[in-house]
Amino acid sequence: MSYFPTVKLVTDRTPIQPLAQLSSLLGIDLWIKRDDLAGTTLGGNKARQLEYYLGAAVAGEADTILITGAVQSNFVRIAAASAASLGMQTVIQLEDRVDRDDLIYRQSGNVLLNSISGSRVIYYPHGEDENGADAALFAEATRLRKQGKTPYVIPLGMQKPPLGALGYIHCAEELQSQAPEFDFAVVGSGSGLTHLGLVAGFKVTGAKTVTIGSCVRRSEHQQYKRLQDLAAAFDKMQECPGRLNKQDFEVWDGALAPGYGQLGSVAAQAMSLLGKYEGHIVDPTYTAKSFAAIPALVMSGRIPKGSRVVFIHTGGLGAVFAYQEDIRSALTDV
């Protein structure tokens, strides 16, 4: 198996906690894995992925990290904070994935936190052009090299090996050491690397846990195809061809509407449910849509009554205040 250099960003196991009130309400044994506590302040799942990306950057003696994402991206914000802790500069490229121009969205939340980290921000005008966004980053990296810098690009698209998924093999192993085996693990599925890594990790440990990814950016069909392509690249990267197959992946898109970065009624109900009964906060873009899968799939029978279920809370809380008006409005209708 190939060797991949890492840096340590997640310094301890993240807690796993029972959700007693919702367990009783839903008729399942429900737990929460607090990966919102992974890594830096207001961290999340991206910290586990960044251990590998920044490990490669440090191994290559990089002094500057380049990364692209949505205006309220948690990934770019956590990357900037993590890079700062390693003495590196960050160039953040923000993409217009969400059709909105209000000042709160453009200046609050993760955008504000990016400025505190001292990152340089550039912009890419399109939101659904992964290859173009990556190309713009590599062009900026070329410019920096001419200035004597040593940049490292964290890519968004599918052309580069999915390094970040390796971090969630370790998360699956961690879960196995913290609690008896779960029947189901539910997680957001966006770039697909967290979802993919969990699937691979449970397979490595021999666990029978079924991982269900709740779609946050693409339809069920589109996300399933993306996961298949990522799985092939992941197996090749690890020199284990054919280890993952299409039967390993399950996705659900019942909370995706009205689209990426927009709070719909299903996600708002999930946000209210988790806050009202357990006091945990989830964000509109990712974790509210992820958690929404659990009551919906219990109701449909896909998750049977009495099942042991773990919700992977992947963070995203830095963006909550950028969506304050949306949240206030949606919760009045719940």
Question: Residue 125 corresponds to which tokens in the numbers above?
Answer: 């005008």
Residues labelled as active-site residues? 73
Phi-psi region of 105 (alpha: psi -120 to 50; beta: other; left: phi over 0): alpha
